[in-house]
Structure 1
Amino acid sequence: MPTDGPGASPDEPPGEPPDELADLRARLSAVEAHEARLAEELRARPPRHRVRSAFAVLLVLLACLLTPLGAVAVWAKSEVSDTDRYVATMAPLARDPAIRAAVTDRVTDEIVKQLPVDSLLDDVAPDDRPVLGALLGSIGQALGDGIAGFVHTQVQRVVDSDAFATVWTDANREAHAAIGRMLTGQGGGAVELKGNTVVLDLAPLIARVKTALVDNGLSIASKIPEIHTSYTLVQSDAVPKVRTGLRLLDVAGFWVPVLAVACATGGVLLAVRRRRAVVTAALGMAAGALLLGIGLSVFRAVYLDALPAGVDQAAAHAVYDTLVRYLRSAVRVVVALGLLVALGAWISGSGRRAGTVRGMWRAGLGAVRRVAERAGLRLGPVGRFVHRWKAWLGWAAVAGAALAFVLWDRPTALVTLCLALGLVGALAVLELLDEPGRSTRAGVQGAAGGG
């Protein structure tokens, strides 16, 4: 009978060398054995791995819980200890139309109450006082309305001028020292805690309005005594509880976010699958910050609904949004940073989809490099240097982006995204400059040809 060749076996496919077939079978058996071993390890994980995993999960959960508290602690600490930060927080309120209208009405009411209208009779002869008194009585309402309108106009001019912004800034700067007393429950200062209300003393503004009234012909305004009226910044039954919480967070200060990062790092180091732990911790901390942002919005609605009927809702909106705007900015930064870290850890993993993304990245940059080479670009020693130290250069770029984020003064979500894009650009440049060299490339091509 004819055969396919010497030593051929009917069980072997025709044209397939016996050595290569045996090698393929050996590799397949090795892969199957490796998969079986991994499955067995997953089913019977050693106790020490279980303990490590339990501690890793506990630390990651603790980091997620500490993240919103850390954001609030940093906000409270910066508002209490940094005068410029507090003044910068409150400064926009001086330009807010709702605040200006509310302050104008409040100051007008207080000045009209204190105007000594009866003193108009002091300079009149005694015999004419009864006649003039009767005349004033008959036109009392119209006179009162006219004086109130005139005072309101003068107050509005002062409030709409640059003088109001100056008074507002100076008052808040002088009041910053009283924030500590507010947190401890002590009184005094331009900012005081009266029961469940935080108020700002408007005496400096009233003094300027008194001067303007006298300069514009209302001489009786000079007889107005010193008025210490107050403008309500915050009013809620929860102020005592919030004060206690803020006092604790102020004492904790920046150690709370440091502890959160330390817990996340410890959880990642203890985890068996560290890359997955990085993704989980980053997403969990971002979720914790997001819950804080949602809580701020919910508390805003509850707080405004609980205000008394006479409180200006528009002004209360402006005050609340201004006080927490830096805290909301911190929430956005943590959410953006968590998503970016999770995305970076996932892309650098061994998953099939992550590998596909990396393959598309390399293929696109490789096409750009080939076009540049055809155009005459030769990297030479630079390309060989980048090829040799590419991993270290990549980690240096990551460390540089992280250092820039840490040293940036009050980073925002936009700054975080810009730093991330800068890091991606640096990694793309490294990929484009990666040139193995002529000898290495020739060796690779020869090996491929021999294969």
Structure 2
Amino acid sequence: MTAESPDESEVAALRARVASLESQEKPRRHRVRSFFAVVLIVLAALLTPLAVVASWSRAQVTDTNRFVSTLAPLSSDPAVQGAVANRATNAIMEQLPVSDLLNEVAPPDRPALNAALGRIGPALTDGLTGFVHDQVLNVVQSDAFAGIWENILRNAHATFTKVLTGQGGGAVQVKGDTVTLDLAPVITQVKDRLVANGVGLAAKIPEVHTDFVLVQSDAVKKAQTGLRLLDVAGLWVPVLAVLCAVGGILLAVHHRRATVGAALGMAFAAVLLGIGLTVFRALYLDKLPADVDQAAAMAVYDTMVRYLRAAVRMLLALGIVIALAAWLTGSGRRAGWVRQLWQAGLGAVRRAAEGIGMRLGPVGRFVHRRKAWLGWGAVLVAAIVLLTWGYPTAVVVLWIAVVLLAVLAVLEFLDTPPEEPVAPSDGTGGGDGKAGPA
């Protein structure tokens, strides 16, 4: 055996040194990649609540139908109906004092009426107030009130953006720490009813503009600045959050683990937003003035944020679906067991169908060759449907997931591997049980 030359020994030592350096450099690069991947995923999670609120704000400002659908349910809320009736009654009674009714009485009868009025005036005022209140309540509890309320909201939306600038104007007014809605159309309807019921003096009531408080908080002025920023960022913050999540996943060493982490992290951040909405609700109601109807204020708040809460539930469902899908396609033992169970179950169904004469033929062989492409195509179509859906909810996400799962099940059912070639007969009558050629 020849001795190794000095040059060869040096080359071997150099190779060993290079291999050692490479083994040290690879974990270092992985640590750097993992660090930045975690930073991007955490940033995506932090941006998620802001993205939800920004999208909600932008939708309320730019989409009239969305604005109307947000506040339309208030027309059927008993607390809001009662608050509207009380506010409209007070406004009408300011224009319809009992003393003005004396002008409708003939002069000879006035002295006696004046003497009696000192004793029965309060009762007469209460009676007239009760009558007017009943007329207002009949309006706000009628089927027609929903249409009146919707018209108020549509007219208000034309000036709703002024809330963001603090200028007010039109049907929506911003006065200090209060955002109000003009009830003039409701009072007009009540005035017509009073005239029809014999209160002719109501015809002389001028056009009355009175306010129904939507929001009253010392945070309104602060929120105006925030809402202006959110309105501008309503389109780009969600995009930035998604890009951060995708960038973190692509940069991570283990893509599937990063996908699970990003999906669950963003879902958890959305849940924190939902908790924040509940906590802020209690703080908001606690700081309202004593003369504000708590039940009506509660109904207004819950109605205004209901689409925010729907977005929270949607993101929670979407995060769980994506995390579950990433986990099931991973290399874990439990995930592999679930996939094997899935394939075995659908394979048994396919074999049972073939046993009763069903033959997939070229369709099954085509699916076998292109199953991966077809599966990713179905995922892409599901993603496009979700992204182009106007305002997806948790139910929409779950239905899309169910339909996608059904499509993948059909692909697995149709997946028919090509038949193995039959071994040629040796002419002895064995193999396929047929006699060989003579």
TM over 0.5: yes
Matched, 1:176 2:157: yes
Matched, 1:79 2:60: yes
Which residue is 2:90 aligned to?
A: 109
Which residue is 1:316 aligned to?
A: 297
CA distance in 2 between partners of 1:241 and 1:293 (Å): 21
Pairing of 1:236-315 with structure 2 (within 5 A):
236-315=217-296
One-letter code of the match for 1:244?
T
CA distance in 1 between partners of 2:209 and 2:412 (Å): 68
CA distance in 1 between partners of 2:108 and 2:310 (Å): 70
* Residue 224 (structure 1) shift: 2.4
State the SS of the aligned residue for 2:215.
strand
* Residue 327 (structure 1) shift: 1.1
One-letter code of the match for 1:271?
A
Which of the numbers 204, 215, 218 marks the counterpart of 1:234? 215
Per-residue CA deviation, residues 76-95 of structure 1 (Å, 9 max, x unaligned), is 00000111110111111111
State the SS of the aligned residue for 1:298.
helix
Which residue is 1:135 aligned to?
A: 116
Which residue is 1:342 aligned to?
A: 323
Is the contact made by 2:328 and 2:338 (CA closer than 8 Å) also made in structure 1?
Answer: yes
Percent identity over the alignment is 63
State the SS of the aligned residue for 1:232.
strand
One-letter code of the match for 2:305?
V
* Residue 173 (structure 1) shift: 0.6
Which residue is 2:353 aligned to?
A: 372
Which of the numbers 370, 373, 380 marks the counterpart of 1:392? 373
One-letter code of the match for 1:141?
P
Per-residue CA deviation, residues 269-312 of structure 1 (Å, 9 max, x unaligned), is 11111111111111111111111111111111111122122221
* Residue 225 (structure 1) shift: 3.1
May I ask how many residue pairs the two structures share in their alignment?
403
CA distance in 1 between partners of 2:256 and 2:138 (Å): 62
Per-residue CA deviation, residues 160-217 of structure 1 (Å, 9 max, x unaligned), is 2233222211111111122211111112111111111111111121111111111110
Which residue is 2:308 aligned to?
A: 327
Matched, 1:355 2:359: no
Per-residue CA deviation, residues 202-252 of structure 1 (Å, 9 max, x unaligned), is 112111111111111011212323322111111111111222111101011
* Residue 61 (structure 1) shift: 0.7
* Residue 66 (structure 1) shift: 0.8
* Residue 120 (structure 1) shift: 2.5
Contiguous gaps of at least 5 residues in structure 1: 1-36, 444-451
Q: TM-score, normalised by structure 2?
A: 0.89
Is the contact made by 1:116 and 1:223 (CA closer than 8 Å) also made in structure 2?
Answer: no
CA distance in 1 between partners of 2:106 and 2:296 (Å): 48
Pairing of 1:3-14 with structure 2 (within 5 A):
none
Matched, 1:202 2:183: yes
* Residue 71 (structure 1) shift: 0.8
One-letter code of the match for 2:391?
R
RMSD: 1.7
One-letter code of the match for 1:364?
G
Is the contact made by 2:98 and 2:124 (CA closer than 8 Å) also made in structure 1?
Answer: no
Which of the numbers 49, 53, 56 marks the counterpart of 1:68? 49
Which residue is 2:36 aligned to?
A: 55
State the SS of the aligned residue for 1:233.
strand
CA distance in 2 between partners of 1:279 and 1:126 (Å): 87
* Residue 107 (structure 1) shift: 1.1
Is the contact made by 1:116 and 1:224 (CA closer than 8 Å) also made in structure 2?
Answer: no
Which of the numbers 108, 121, 142 marks the counterpart of 1:161? 142
Is the contact made by 2:93 and 2:129 (CA closer than 8 Å) also made in structure 1?
Answer: yes
One-letter code of the match for 1:417?
L
CA distance in 2 between partners of 1:113 and 1:137 (Å): 20
* Residue 45 (structure 1) shift: 4.3
Q: TM-score, normalised by structure 1?
A: 0.86
One-letter code of the match for 1:402?
A
* Residue 125 (structure 1) shift: 4.3
One-letter code of the match for 1:143?
L
Is the contact made by 1:340 and 1:420 (CA closer than 8 Å) also made in structure 2?
Answer: yes
One-letter code of the match for 1:51?
V
* Residue 313 (structure 1) shift: 1.6
CA distance in 2 between partners of 1:138 and 1:398 (Å): 81
Is the contact made by 1:286 and 1:339 (CA closer than 8 Å) also made in structure 2?
Answer: yes
* Residue 127 (structure 1) shift: 4.4
